[in-house]
Chain A
């Protein structure tokens, strides 16, 4: 029922996204594009739409997986240091290989974000106080520590300007040739679907998983690799997009439950719709200028996050 609305909404927004921009391209022109319009359409508008969709889908699914594996509704790539670690990795890649190729950057950033996420999960194991609101705070602090280390080294190596490009998520720089790396995320989404049941069972706890003969450690590791890699890809191509992986899974969980296999498609759809909506909003609010996606998602997302926190208090 709800899914049908989401699909319709997604199609409408995608269509809108293709035809909003400084150079006016109207759907009516579709079959009689001028050369310039064709170029902008294929070089900028289409890549932008694809990267928005992929980023929205993968970040939301990553958030859902993290929330299951950590058994905490408020853990996400933003609140577990994953994004900050990926950014730290990019900096290291820039320092070590002066002119790092995208693949080099990706590999180093992936290793860092994976290590950072693992470290956070280890910290989680150690924390005795299992207050659900305390844990994301620890994650945010952890992320901020990594972020300040990044700033320190970036400052020392005169890379502050470079790094700020990855600080704020921004789709306006996406053109053909600069976003294709995101396609690596598509197989990750498929793996996530195959492992969905395992993630949910692992989310019921280690004893529960072992009772059902599930290899708990393997499930957790696969989940964290998916999360770290897809987050890295988004940070590298688009930049930080905060709160998306937090807000979307929580909304889906409210109306669809936490059985990942049932909720995965809704999470993907809602993630794409949400980020697409924020991006279009950012593009038309101060037209012809743009508000970067990191900011729009950040403002709307953190608002919803606060609402979720209050709601949690009500029924917890």
Chain B
């Protein structure tokens, strides 16, 4: 379980994350939603020790993140930030291999290669594993990065806007993979996501942030209501039930 205890972070005078406490269930997909500048990405960065909080603490499976060695954490938690401006020419397989760095420190063993092959297969990248990343489309690239985090073999996978710049087909593909990661492999997935319908359809829990504070949290059914969404986004939405999925219509 990830426990966030009254974490705050400010830039200058502006509190980006303001006294946030939240617990995240194991083996589920939790989506962080909220308007721009609500502090979602910052919170994710703090949980994954990419940033340090000004106050408060984060515990992963009861261990304080701040006091855990970075190398050990890398075997427990993986974070993928939006990395569209990658300047290095790496092959897909090389990239996925780097996921094994926390275990191998650069010297890949047989076991590492098994994990790498598995991750590539899981993301259906076999055909393009020797291609360079700059030859791939946005969706393929995103899949390659997710394959790397799978090879990293962590219990927790954090993704900062994984659907950014992807078309609908690829977005659905990515979300289905995340669903499988949670359902089949028992991974705990945390994502920052803008499209509330993707959050509604594919996640188990939703945490809504606004101005650095938690505005609402709960199951999809609890959060996807006209009233709660109005609180979060300040706009009227009608919620339609289609095939047992709650779909928000916000085109007024």
A and B held together in a complex? yes
CA distance A207 to B49 in the complex (A): 9
Question: Which one of B71-79, B116-124, B136-144, B228-236 is at the A interface?
Answer: B71-79
A197 touches B50 (CB 8 A): no
- In the complex the two chains form, what is the Cα distance from A197 to B103 in whole Å? 13
Residue of B nearest to A205 (CB): B83
Write out the residue numbers on chain B whose beta carbons fall within 8 Å of the beta carbon of A205.
83
Please choose the segment from A97-105, A167-175, A255-263 that sits at the chain B interface, where 4 or more of its residues have CB less than 8 A away. A255-263
Which of B49, B50, B74, B89 is packed against the most chain A CB atoms within 10 Å?
Answer: B89
Query: Most chain-B Cβ atoms within 10 A of its Cβ — which of A68, A213, A262?
Result: A213
Binding site for B on A (CB under 8 A): 68, 71-73, 132, 194, 196-198, 200-201, 203-205, 207-208, 210-215, 253, 257-259, 261-262
Kindly provide the distance from the CB of B119 to the nearest chain A CB, expressed in whole angstroms: 14
Q: Say yes or no: A213-B102 contact (C-beta < 8 A), given A207-B50, A257-B89, A257-B94.
A: yes
Interface centre among A132, A196, A261 (most CB of B within 10 A): A261
B102 pairs with A212, CB closer than 8 A? yes
- Count, chain B residues at interface, CB 8 A: 31
Complex Cα gap A72–B85 (Å) = 12
Tell whether, in the assembled complex, residue A258 and residue B90 are in contact, meaning their CB atoms are under 8 Å apart. Answer: yes
Those 10 A-B pairs whose CB atoms lie nearest each other, nearest first: A213-B74, A197-B106, A213-B71, A258-B88, A258-B89, A212-B101, A259-B94, A213-B102, A257-B89, A213-B70
A316 to chain B, nearest CB (A): 10
Q: Are A208 and B83 in contact (CB under 8 A)?
A: yes
Q: Looking at the complex, which one of A197, A203, A211 makes contact with B74 (CB distance below 8 Å)?
A: A211
B98-121 residues at the A interface, CB under 8 angstroms = 98-99, 101-102, 105-106
By a CB distance below 8 angstroms, the chain A residues around B244 are none
Known: A71-B87, A205-B83, A208-B83. A214 touches B94 (CB 8 A): no
B197 within 8 A of A: no
Asked whether B87 lies within 8 Å of A73 as measured between CB atoms, the reply is yes
Residues of B within 8 A of A72 (CB): 87
Known: A207-B50, A212-B74, A213-B72. A197 touches B91 (CB 8 A): no
Which one of B48, B72, B74 has the highest number of Cβ atoms from chain A below 10 Å of its Cβ?
A: B74
State whether the Cβ of B170 lies closer than 8 Å to any Cβ in chain A.
no
Contact present for B94 and A211 (CB under 8 Å): no
* Beyond A213-B73, A214-B101, A259-B88, 19 additional pairs, beta carbon < 8 A: A71-B87, A132-B87, A198-B106, A200-B90, A201-B101, A203-B87, A203-B88, A204-B88, A207-B45, A207-B50, A207-B79, A207-B81, A211-B50, A211-B79, A212-B74, A212-B152, A253-B89, A258-B90, A261-B106
Complex alpha-carbon distance, A262 and B94, angstroms: 10
* Residue ID in chain B nearest A196 by CB atoms: B106
B99 and chain A: residue at smallest CB distance:
A212
Q: Are A201 and B98 in contact (CB under 8 A)?
A: yes
Q: How far is the CA of A200 from the CA of B94 in the complex (A)?
A: 10
Instruction: Give the chain B neighbours of A214 by CB distance below 8 A.
Output: 70, 101
Residue in B closest to A68 when the chains form the complex, CB atoms: B88
A205 to B69, alpha carbons, bound, how many Å? 20
**Which chain B residues border A208 with CB–CB below 8 Å?**
81, 83
Interface centre among B48, B81, B98, B132, by most chain A C-beta atoms within 10 angstroms, is B98
Q: Is the CB of A259 within 8 A of B50?
A: no
Give bound CA distance, A35 to B199, whole Å: 85
Q: CB-CB < 8 A to B101: which residues of A?
A: 197, 201, 212-214
**Which residues on the B side are within 8 Å of A257 (C-beta)?**
89-91, 94, 132
